[in-house]
Amino acid sequence: VMALGLVLPAHADIDDYYDDLESINEQLEEMKENRKQTKSELDRLRDLLDDLDREMYKAEEELKDLEDKILAMEEKIAEQEKLIAEVEASIAETEEYLAIQTEY
């Protein structure tokens, strides 16, 4: 029995060894589950990031369209202001002409 005790651990030690192994296996399973959950959460966050990227791209396109519309409106306003200035000049000439005609 003594010779076997040197080669094999005592029965209580074997039970402790198996308990330790079982505990380690449980921890490994927990770690695997945590890894799965973390990977799942990462995938979800990546999807959200992709959605945000798409939304930002759409918003940038809409902003560019609005800027183009604003530029077009500013050009139309400038053209209208030019026409108004021409009409005002024409009115001034007409008033001047009428003033001269009235003097005679």
How many domains, the chain?
Answer: 1
DSSP code of residue 1? -
Contacts of 8 (CB under 8 A, 6+ apart): 14
Q: Look at residue 24 in the predicted model and tell me its pLDDT.
A: 93
Categorise residue 92: left if φ over 0, alpha if ψ from -120 to 50, beta otherwise.
alpha
**Is residue 3 assigned to a domain?**
no
**Is residue 30 assigned to a domain?**
yes
Q: Which of 16-25, 77-86, 91-100 is modeled with the greatest confidence? A: 77-86
Q: Does the pTM of the predicted model rise above 0.75? A: no
Q: Which residue range forms the structural domain that includes residue 66?
A: 9-103
Stretch 47-74: mean pLDDT, rounded? Answer: 98
